[in-house]
Structure 1
Amino acid sequence: MYKFTAARKDPVTDGKHILPAGLGVTTGINFQPLGAKKAAINGDFVMTSDEIQHVIKALRKGGIDIVELHNHTLNEQPRLFYMHFWATGDGATLAQTLAPALDATHPAPPKS
């Protein structure tokens, strides 16, 4: 299994505290190779309310199923929502479908 984690670009706070990415305010994407260039994917996008429809449209355009949409906490700012997803298919095609959905969540640049 290959796991990718993307933190949000903007800080997330709860009261006076900045919530670090390690507390679950990240997007997680998992790829499980199935052979013959196919993969199963699942994960959890973390989004603000303004980002939800953009992510839904990107996932549906590529045939990725949305499993559920929910929230975890009550007082974080910005208010965050989590969307679980699932699909199987050509691994490269699925990755290309996930890219605009991830971009819609304003991820932080990768750390080197």
Structure 2
Amino acid sequence: MKIPKGLCKKLACILGGMGMSNDTCSITVKRNLNARILGKKYETEHEITIQSLGRDGKSLNTAEITVLQKEVQRFVDAARKQKLKVTAIHNHWLFDDPRLMYIHLESVSEPVKFAKKLRKALDVLK
């Protein structure tokens, strides 16, 4: 089932980002890490997707969270405390400064509950 535009807007508000809704809800949350790749400024963000909303009110929720290398363990601990599944930790770039890492999360749950849990985990990055 499609994610209603109003629900996507609510999720984006909870997460502090901007949402777009077609069949899925794609939310981007900007994060200013003053990063550079090959000496050029690089904009960083978290990418969250809510999709496949079922009749039971649960959806597939995925996120790719951008963190500094030194923030990995703190964020993973916070995500696990919220019962979010951490499914990957990796880098994308070879010549980034500071070193950026990407943490993938997955869940099947009610979208608003997921957004609130993710928001709590993201709060450790402030």
What is the CA distance between 1:66 and its match in structure 2? Answer: 1.0
Q: Any unmatched runs of 5+ in structure 1?
A: 107-112
More relative contact order, 1 or 2 (CA 8 Å, 6+ apart)? 1
* 1:92 counterpart letter in structure 2: V
Task: Report what 1:9 is aligned to.
Answer: 32
Task: Report what 1:27 is aligned to.
Answer: 46
Q: TM-score if structure 1 supplies the norm length?
A: 0.78
Two-structure CA RMSD over aligned residues (Å): 1.7
Pair 94,30 (structure 1): closer, same or farther in 2 beyond 3 Å: same
Q: TM-score if structure 2 supplies the norm length?
A: 0.71
Partner of 1:104, secondary structure, is helix
Q: Any residues of structure 2 matched to 1:58-73 within 5 Å, and which?
A: 58-73=78-93
Q: Any unmatched runs of 5+ in structure 2?
A: 1-23
Q: Any residues of structure 2 matched to 1:17-56 within 5 Å, and which?
A: 17-19=40-42, 21=43, 25-32=44-51, 33-56=53-76
Query: 2-side partners of 1:9 and 1:103: how far apart?
Result: 15
Question: Where does structure 1 differ by over 6 angstroms across 4 or more consecutive aligned residues?
Answer: none
- Matched positions, count: 102
Percent identity, aligned pairs only?
Answer: 24
